[in-house]
Structure 1
Amino acid sequence: MQRPILYVAITNHGFGHATRTASVAATIQKLCPEVLLIMVTTAPRWLLECYIEGDFIHRPRAFDLGVVQADSLNMDKDATLARLLEIKKQQNSLIASEVNFIRQNRVQLIFADIPFLAPLFAQKAGIPCWMMSNFGWDFIYRDWGGEFVAIADWISECYQKCDRLFRLPFHEPMPAFPHITDVGLTGGTPRYTAEAIRTIWGITAPPEKTILLTFGGLGLQQIPYDNLRHFPQWQFIVFDQSAPDLPNLIKINDRKFRPVDFMPICGKVISKPGYGTFSEATLLDIPLVTIPRDDFAEAAFLLEGLVNYNSHQIIQPEEFFQGNWDFLNQPLQPPQKTHPLAKDGNQAIAQAMINYLQEHKYK
């Protein structure tokens, strides 16, 4: 009897889409181990293995690019436009090769976050495409105007062929999608107890003086680490291997560990606006300190979600990059909404897909 086969296509941009999709894929695997996962992404296998404990097939393919970036905050729009025009030119051959793969492997359902060609693969292969995101790339590019408007129109047309969108919290309206199901927060859950993390990494400061600095897979070249000397009694945790060696800075160099594994021992997380970090910190009720990003349209919705649903501080870039980090001594703002967000996004999305795959097992 054939196993249910799920083709999971992930946007080729940083690590955030890969980790949040892998969190859902891992939940599918836990709830229904017979589902075979085909993870279609250029994200490294080790990153996926941080979330998915069982077997999966890794197919390294890119069908979109998000935004070409030097680091987590600096974007190259010209290079982004050139690459998008290249994808548009090649779309027929990209579709043909993937449809061939999908048919050969008897895939029953495509799940995508949120490469815009995925619904076209599904349509040609005669199977459904379900997607998940809090924004579409049409929204990001349209905001840039000029030549990006025509690109955004093309992408919106692709998204219109999506059979079902699981719309995550902190979302833009996503009007191109005809069938929307709103779901709760998604993300990874800590794999270790707080005690184990403290012991393994020698973390002795109390939570209110333990800070996680996380700026996504692209990192941030200009973190002003010099400021840490103002806080000798505090402990700071980073995943940035290029960070200097400082007595109160712990560099996490073991790929088994993820930012979410450290959140429970921290009083605050300092991050750029990003769905994955915002969602995981909000799932765990860990306060967030962040910097606005006026050049990335998604950021306004992330910040609004943060203000509504988590304890927070929004600091100006100059406070972070040029200041002395006195903001660490300032009080946090409480969430503005009293009712919390639903936290069952992984389970809701996973169960819907399992139900579909089981219903269509013998078809």
Structure 2
Amino acid sequence: MSQPAHLFVDISAHGFGHLAQVAPVLAVLTARLPELRLTIRSGLPRERLQARVATAFTHLRASSDFGYVMHDAVSLDLAATAQAYRRQHADWEVLVDRDARLFRELQPDLVFSDVAYLPLAGATQAGIPSAAMCSLNWAELFAHFFAKEEWAETIHRQMLDAYNSAECFLRVTPGMAMADLPRLRPIGPIAALGEDCRRALRAQLGCSSDERLVLIAFGGFEKQLPIDAWPPIPGVHWLVPQTWQVEHPSVTAFEPLGHSIADLLRAADAVLSKPGYGTFAEAACNHTPLLYLRRDDWPEQDFLIDWLQEHGRCRQVSEDELLAGRLQVALESLWSQAAPPTPQPSGAEEAAAALLPWLTKVTES
């Protein structure tokens, strides 16, 4: 009697973009393999995972990476990040052994990571195949920020060795160059396509047909803006995170509305965000214009911005404009742009096709 395949998925909790990349791939895999067992390890809350992953899964609440320590959504704390990497890699062999023991116990058919490198090293030690996927990798970012530090060489080598131990690294479009990963396999964009709830959403909000909805979403990192002090922009209604606790006739918290982020993004007339994979790809694929605030020295952002300038409608705003709420000119400029052809999110199907060979081998009990 054959047993269902078992996929162990490690999803970074550094923002929500990693989950936004993985969830559509899991949807394709579980549609093709309805009996697929999923174990998801992530520091994200279970309810956040369930909002994107529709099928049943076992959740291990833990983080095997931290990415970068952030002051806020667009500012890095490099000193704290350096300390965190040095602390983690001081116990590197112990951590790899721990993951290897976990995988020997769980016996998954494949370990799939976006984009922690530790589980890849642990899977290799346990003799279990692994694959990685992302638009970035921590080794390339680490080299960008810390390559000149005398303590960095060993850590960088351990990172690269872990990534290169995987069967493949699926680089999502748009993505960084990743020249140090010889098993790189480029795939197309990954994005959830929202349902068109524009009419229902406007009815909920009591908006007129010509009122514009602008969604503010900074992808899992706090970046509260003084929106209640902004000058009013006629005909614009803002959708903001509930944690901001803003009471204003032109502002509504979006979570209580009961729509998914993808649905809200598709229904919005614009989104305001930072450069991050999930929001950029989903804005383009849902045909939604985007205003963005650049991040402080984040190498991935230029790949994202260049791609969105070609495949979507976007415009940069400054920190001063954002804090003062001087956004009317930027929004009008954004809405006046000609819309290019909407890109198709082919990456989830391509990623699933790459992973299926390890999940369709029949295991006899």
Q: TM-score, structure 2 length as denominator?
A: 0.90
* Offset from partner CA, 1:148-175 (integer Å, 9 cap, x none): 7433343223212121111111211112
Pick the aligned partner of 1:264 from 253, 263, 266. 266
Local SS of the residue matching 1:103? helix
Provide closer, same or farther for how the CA distance between residues 228 and 209 of structure 1 changes in structure 2, counting only shifts above 3 A.
Answer: farther
CA distance in 2, matches of 1:241, 1:98: 35
Alignment-derived partner of residue 182 in structure 1: 186
Pair 1:219-2:222 in alignment: yes
Pair 1:41-2:42 in alignment: yes
Gap runs ≥5 in structure 1: none
Provide closer, same or farther for how the CA distance between residues 156 and 80 of structure 1 changes in structure 2, counting only shifts above 3 A.
Answer: same
When structure 1 is superposed on structure 2, of 309-318 and 35-44 the one drifting more is 309-318
Local SS of the residue matching 1:163? coil
**CA RMSD across the alignment:** 2.4
Letter in 1 for 2:103: I
Asked whether the 8 Å contact 1:116–1:158 carries over to 2, the reply is yes
Pair 1:120-2:121 in alignment: yes
Shift of 1:329: 2.4
Pick the aligned partner of 1:152 from 149, 152, 156. 156
Question: Which of structure 1's runs of 4+ aligned residues deviate more than 6 A?
Answer: none
* Offset from partner CA, 1:41-97 (integer Å, 9 cap, x none): 111100110011221000122221101113212221111111111211222222222
Pair 1:276-2:278 in alignment: yes
Asked whether the 8 Å contact 2:191–2:345 carries over to 1, the reply is no
Local SS of the residue matching 2:75? coil
CA distance in 2, matches of 1:93, 1:207: 60
CA distance in 1, matches of 2:191, 2:53: 12
Alignment-derived partner of residue 239 in structure 2: 237
CA distance in 2, matches of 1:105, 1:228: 53
CA distance in 1, matches of 2:166, 2:123: 9
Pick the aligned partner of 1:328 from 322, 326, 331. 331
Provide closer, same or farther for how the CA distance between residues 344 and 208 of structure 1 changes in structure 2, counting only shifts above 3 A.
Answer: farther
Alignment-derived partner of residue 346 in structure 1: 348
Letter in 2 for 1:231: I
CA distance in 1, matches of 2:208, 2:21: 30
Shift of 1:266: 1.4
Shift of 1:38: 0.6
Shift of 1:232: 4.2
CA distance in 2, matches of 1:27, 1:205: 38
Letter in 1 for 2:85: L
CA distance in 1, matches of 2:278, 2:206: 24
Local SS of the residue matching 2:159? helix
CA distance in 1, matches of 2:199, 2:144: 45
Gap runs ≥5 in structure 2: none
Asked whether the 8 Å contact 1:32–1:354 carries over to 2, the reply is no
Provide closer, same or farther for how the CA distance between residues 134 and 168 of structure 1 changes in structure 2, counting only shifts above 3 A.
Answer: same
CA distance in 2, matches of 1:300, 1:121: 32
Provide closer, same or farther for how the CA distance between residues 101 and 153 of structure 1 changes in structure 2, counting only shifts above 3 A.
Answer: closer
Q: TM-score, structure 1 length as denominator?
A: 0.90
Q: What does 1:56-71 correspond to in 2, within 5 Å? A: 56-71=57-72
Letter in 2 for 1:310: G
CA distance in 2, matches of 1:258, 1:138: 32
CA distance in 2, matches of 1:30, 1:166: 20
Q: What does 1:62-101 correspond to in 2, within 5 Å? A: 62-101=63-102
Pick the aligned partner of 2:171 from 160, 167, 174. 167
Letter in 1 for 2:177: P
Letter in 2 for 1:265: A
Shift of 1:247: 0.4
Question: How many residues of Structure 1 are paired with residues of Structure 2 in the alignment?
Answer: 360
